[in-house]
Amino acid sequence: MPIKQGWLEGARRVPSPNCDERPDGEVSLLLLHSISLPPGEFGGEHIERLFTNCLDPADHPFFAEIAHLRVSAHLLIRRDGECVQFVPFHGRAWHAGRSRWCDGLRERTSLNDFAIGIELEGDEVSPYRLAQYLALARVTADLLAVYPMLEETRITSHARVAPLRKSDPGLAFDWAFFRQRLARGAMLDQPQA
Q: Is 48 one of the catalytic residues? A: no
What type of residue is 173? F
Q: How many residues does the chain have?
A: 193
In whole angstroms, what is the distance from residue 93 CA to residue 193 CA? Answer: 41
> Can you list the positions of beta strands (E) in the chain?
3-4, 7-8, 12-13, 19-21, 29-35, 75-77, 83-85, 91-93, 101-102, 107-108, 115-121, 155-157
Residue of 9, 119, 121, 124 with catalytic role: 119
Pairing of strands 115-121, 29-35: parallel
**Could you give the residue numbers annotated as active site?**
119
